[in-house]
Structure 1
């Protein structure tokens, strides 16, 4: 009998082939066994986003940021979904949170790491 991890890996395989409907189903099977699995919820949200199921994706990606509030990937994914929903200010807030979390992680390895910039540098 397949485990939650087996279903998750199947989902990743489908996602890599851009078979988003199949990926969504595989992730849902995994989450039926492990409903609080933030990595799987993040993967589900991204598959839903790419399948055009933006409102469903948003719910799952917001849940990821609640389950794993120190994980920058969740906030990056949330930002991407918010952009597609044309919620630009919210997307920028989520991306700023992701940058700060990434910097905090980098500081653990490199205490002299510079803080993230407020945006992309512009060449003049």
Structure 2
């Protein structure tokens, strides 16, 4: 299925898999800060691969609304020296919005990042949701 965005110039149709892949690639570039996980909070890969495995699609959910796209992202955040949850989530959201602008698509109406845990020596369970809404 394609996500169709209408603007004053016409309609733009982008396949959902393309948008999912775009988001996953951005998250994989941040492998020093985060690990993709499934809805239960279990890491998808212990050692991330540079290519997109079909398992990664469990970490990103993209749902379509009437006038835009809503993205839900589930991740496990790894905090390194000097990094915090607010900085990492802000960086993720900014990158996603930049990619949508690159494709000339409207910004997603809502980006939700679910942080299921923080990895130190072990994964400390958390259930934090960070949301950005665009009107």
Pairwise same-fold verdict (TM > 0.5):
no
Bigger RCO of structures 1 and 2 (CA < 8 A, at least 6 apart):
2
- TM-score category, normalised to shorter length: under 0.3
Structure richer in helix, relative to its length: 1
Structure richer in strand, relative to its length: 2
TM-score (norm 1): 0.27
TM-score (norm 2): 0.25
